[in-house]
Amino acid sequence: METVGAAIARCARVLGRAGVHFGHGTDNARDEAAELVFFAAGIAHKAGARAYLRPLSLRHRRRVDELLQRRMTERVPLAYLTRRAFFAGLELYVDERVLVPRSPIAGLVQRRFHPWIGARRVRRILDLGTGSGAIAMACARSFPRAAVDAVDISAGALAVCRRNARKLGLTARVAVLRSDYFDAVRGRRYDIIVSNPPYVGRAEIRRLPREYRHEPKLGLAAGADGLDAVRVILAGAHRHLSDGGILVVEVGNSERALLRSFPHLRFIWPHIDMGGGGVFVLRAQDLGANLEIGQ
């Protein structure tokens, strides 16, 4: 009988040879294989390496092979097959209505955006383009005295977000709202506005590996240079930040286009310990009405 450890090694070899793309929660074949086998065998992650010597039943081995096959032939991100994703220590429900959560903003939430804001003063947080609610839920957990507004334009994404708020027992502090960016939160001010908006430019979208085609286009595409959403956020943020508040936005590979379009803005580009980049922080005092003319 194959053990859990042997199944993980086998799946990692097969995934590696198949040339699938990793980038939806894991960045290598071994980690992805471990998640696949643990899920298929119903093993909790906290069992860790202790589980590696367990034998896989025939039923679990069949399940492993089915998942492996679909992952390779359909190029579906594994999270859509398992219907789960891990983000900032939380387990979330996900399906094709939402992007698979993977934002490096997780690392900033876990350090409570230190040193850009004092955590004790944070009472109101807005997550723009919340998708599964990953960032909103992680913020609610990291700031237990804060109320979080989680907004998205996609009704499907909001259904997933609500499900996650229930699953994590956060419905009392996370309000889930349908909104075209700031439209439904007019007049509200926040200590932190955080967003992982769509930011993939037209040319880059065409080059993305097949796995990304399973994700909602609304979560990725952002015009010719990838900055359509970021422009809206930059233009509106000053009307919604409290004094001393901060705006935190992921822009990924669109960082260079952003710097060209907004050369006068004092972006801070934090180093993120867990890896990843392309996330900026802006302080309320460095944002202003002049942003509405950003090209």
Ligand X SMILES: C[S@@+](CC[C@H](N)C(=O)[O-])C[C@H]1O[C@@H](n2cnc3c(N)ncnc32)[C@H](O)[C@@H]1O
Site of tokens 């460095």: 286
Site for ligand X in 120-149 (CB under 6 A): 129-132, 134-135
CB of 132 to ligand X, least distance (A): 6
Helix/strand/coil (H/E/C) assignment for every residue in 148-208:
EEEEECCHHHHHHHHHHHHHCCCCCCEEEEECCCCHHHCCCCEEEEEECCCCECHHHHHHC
Indicate whether 91 belongs to the interface with ligand X (CB under 6 A): no
Indicate whether 236 belongs to the interface with ligand X (CB under 6 A): no
Q: Provide the 8-state DSSP code for 223.
A: S
Indicate whether 103 belongs to the interface with ligand X (CB under 6 A): yes
Task: For residue 43, give the 3-state DSSP assignment.
Answer: coil
Contact 109, 139 (CB under 8 A): yes
Indicate whether 218 belongs to the interface with ligand X (CB under 6 A): yes
Pairing of the two strands 241-250 and 190-195: parallel
Q: Which stretch binds ligand X (CB under 6 A): 52-60, 97-105, 113-121, 202-210?
A: 97-105
CB of 228 to ligand X, least distance (A): 9
Among 25, 77, 104, 197, binds ligand X (CB under 6 A): 197
90: β partners: 87
Site for ligand X in 33-72 (CB under 6 A): none
Among 14, 119, 153, 205, binds ligand X (CB under 6 A): 153
Indicate whether 160 belongs to the interface with ligand X (CB under 6 A): no
Contact 110, 159 (CB under 8 A): no
User: Assign residue 270 a region: left if phi > 0, alpha if psi is -120 to 50, beta otherwise?
Assistant: beta
Indicate whether 25 belongs to the interface with ligand X (CB under 6 A): no
Indicate whether 164 belongs to the interface with ligand X (CB under 6 A): no
Indicate whether 245 belongs to the interface with ligand X (CB under 6 A): no
Closer residue to ligand X, CB minimum distance, 7 or 251: 251
Contact 249, 105 (CB under 8 A): no
Nearest to 121 by CA among 281, 242, 285: 242
Q: Which stretch binds ligand X (CB under 6 A): 13-21, 40-48, 68-76, 195-203?
A: 195-203
Indicate whether 219 belongs to the interface with ligand X (CB under 6 A): yes
Among 152, 191, 225, 255, binds ligand X (CB under 6 A): 152
CB of 164 to ligand X, least distance (A): 11
Contact 237, 292 (CB under 8 A): no
Indicate whether 157 belongs to the interface with ligand X (CB under 6 A): yes
Contacting residues toward ligand X, per CB under 6 A: 98-99, 101, 103, 129-132, 134-135, 151-154, 157, 179-181, 196-198, 218-219
